[in-house]
Every structure is written in C-alpha cells, then in structure tokens.
Amino acid sequence: MQQHYKALTFRFLLILFFLNLYSQQSISQIVDFNKIVTPEGQRPANFEDYLVQLAWLNSPQTQILNFEKTKEEMEVDLKRTEWMDDMSFSFNINEVSLENVLAPDPNNFVLYPLYQFSAAVSLGSFTNTKKERKLEEVDVKIAEMEANEHKMSIRAETLFRYNKLLLAIETLKVRVKAEEVSKNTFDLAQRRFKNAELDMEDMLRASESYSAATEKRLSAETNIELAKLSLEEMIGVKWEVAKRFEGKYKKSGN
C-alpha cells in the first residue's frame, strides 16, 4: 500500500513538472510584435531595428493592411446599429371620426380609436446581426494577424538585404587587397622579365592573375551597388541617407 502511494505521488509530481515546463515554453513562445518592428514614434533600439522600422513605415503594403483593418472595424460599428434598419413605424389618423369629434352632429358616428401608432421590428435581426458582428470582429483579428505577419516578413527581408550589403562591402575589402598583391606581383614580374630574370610563361601567368584580381574587384563593387539598390527598395530611402543614423546609434552604444 505504501509503495502504491509513493508511485502515485511520483506520477503526480511528474505530471506537475511537465505541465509547468509546457506552460513556461508556451509563455516564452509568445511574440511581442512591437519588438519585431518598433512602433511609429518610438526610437528603435539599434541601427538594424531602425532600418526595419523604416522599411515598415515606407511599405505600401503596410498602408494597405492598415486600411483593411480600419475597414473591418467600421464594418463592426455598422453591425452594431444595423438592427435599426429593420425597425418600422406607422401613424394613421381616422380623419372622418376626428372631423365628427371636432364638429359633433347627432347623425354622425364616431369610431375609435381616432389614431393609431405602431412600431415593428424583426426579432431575427437581433440574433442575426449579433452573429454577423462577431464574424466582422473575427475579420478584424485576421487583419491584425496579417499585419503582424507582414511585420515578420518585413524584418526578415530587410535584415537579409542589409546583411547582404555588409557581406558585399567586406568582400570588396578582400578583393582590393588581393588586387594590390597581384599588382605588386605583376610589377615585380615585369621588372624581372625586363632583366631577363623571368621567362614569358611566368610573366603571362602574373599578368593573368592581376587581370583576374581586377575583374573580381570590379565584380565586388558592382555587387555593392546592387545590394544597395535591393536594400533601398525595402527601406524607401537612399542608403547614404539611412547610413547617417548609424553613427548616432554607435555613439549611444546601440
């Protein structure tokens, strides 16, 4: 009996452990979309976040999604008062009887009521409108999720293009150094060739190496320009303009 009790206690503690672990994982997986893209009017934490915010603010898709959300919210507001459209009012006056009352005569009959007022409303409109409003509220939440999905996409694409530009810049530095080494080697080969210290084959090999290094340097420069254009397409401004803010973040330690 005691062993059975210990086994049950162990299982209970084990279940509690996994439930606690699962709850912690669930909490840690909640995404703060204000950190994915810094909201408008707030200062980004670093230069990368600044580029992401810039891309998000200047994206036409951002405006489209904002308009769609506003539209869905307006649809919800309309559904709240739509039941009023199903209400009807009527007012009827018994003109003959009213005239006999105002000018009584023993030979005239007076029929009551002298007037009628009525109001009608469709009971189904209350339940149907409520359900339709809930559907519109779901559309609002969907619009919010689409906007959040757009934020994640904007951040991933912006940082991808930014890092591609950084890679192109570092690659150019390597290519420039390689070209300098090849040029020095080629200049030395030329002097040795003139002094008959180097044969034609080695001279041509040094020339080809220098030409290849120059070609790679030119290719690296082109890749930088293409990477700039790609990033500018995302952020909506020239790279040189955006880069001015990089120094400000470096001074602040971000």
DSSP string computed for 15-46: HHHHHHHHHHHHHHT---HHHHSPPTTSPPSS
pLDDT value of position 26:
46
Please give the residue range of the domain that contains residue 209.
48-82+143-251
CA distance 217 to 238: 23
95: pLDDT strictly greater than 70: no
pLDDT value of position 139:
80
Residue 158, both tokens: 């912006």
CA distance 140 to 134: 10
pLDDT value of position 90:
63
Residue 80, both tokens: 């709240």
* 133 within a domain of the structure (yes/no): no
14: pLDDT strictly greater than 70: no
pLDDT value of position 89:
58
Query: Which of 84, 65, 74, 160 lies closest to 126, judged by CA?
Result: 84
pLDDT value of position 82:
61
pLDDT value of position 81:
66
Q: Quick one: average pLDDT of 78-99?
A: 59
pLDDT value of position 102:
54
∠ CA 96-101-102 to the nearest 5 degrees?
100
* 177 within a domain of the structure (yes/no): yes
> For residue 254, what is the enclosing H or E element?
none
CA distances from 35 to 13, 49, 71, 253 (A): 36, 9, 26, 19
| pLDDT tens string 140-176 | 888 888 888 999 999 999 999 999 999 999 999 999 9
Most confidently modeled of 13-22, 76-85, 226-235? Answer: 226-235
Residue 13 pLDDT level (bands cut at 50, 70, 90): very low
Q: Is the pTM of this model over 0.75?
A: no
| pLDDT tens string 27-78 | 445 778 888 999 999 999 999 999 999 999 999 998 888 888 888 878 777 7
Q: Hey, CA dihedral for 58, 62, 67, 73, is it positive or negative?
A: negative
pLDDT value of position 74:
81
Residue 196, both tokens: 């008959």
* 16 within a domain of the structure (yes/no): no
Burial track 3-27 (b if 16+ CB lie within 10 A, e otherwise):
eeeeeeeeeeeeeeeeeeeeeeeee
Q: How many domains does the chain have?
A: 1
Q: What percent of the chain has pLDDT over 70?
A: 66
* 152 within a domain of the structure (yes/no): yes
Helix then strand then coil, % of the chain, to nearest 5 = 80, 5, 15
* 35 within a domain of the structure (yes/no): no
| pLDDT tens string 188-215 | 999 988 888 889 999 899 999 999 999 9
DSSP 8-state class, residue 163:
H
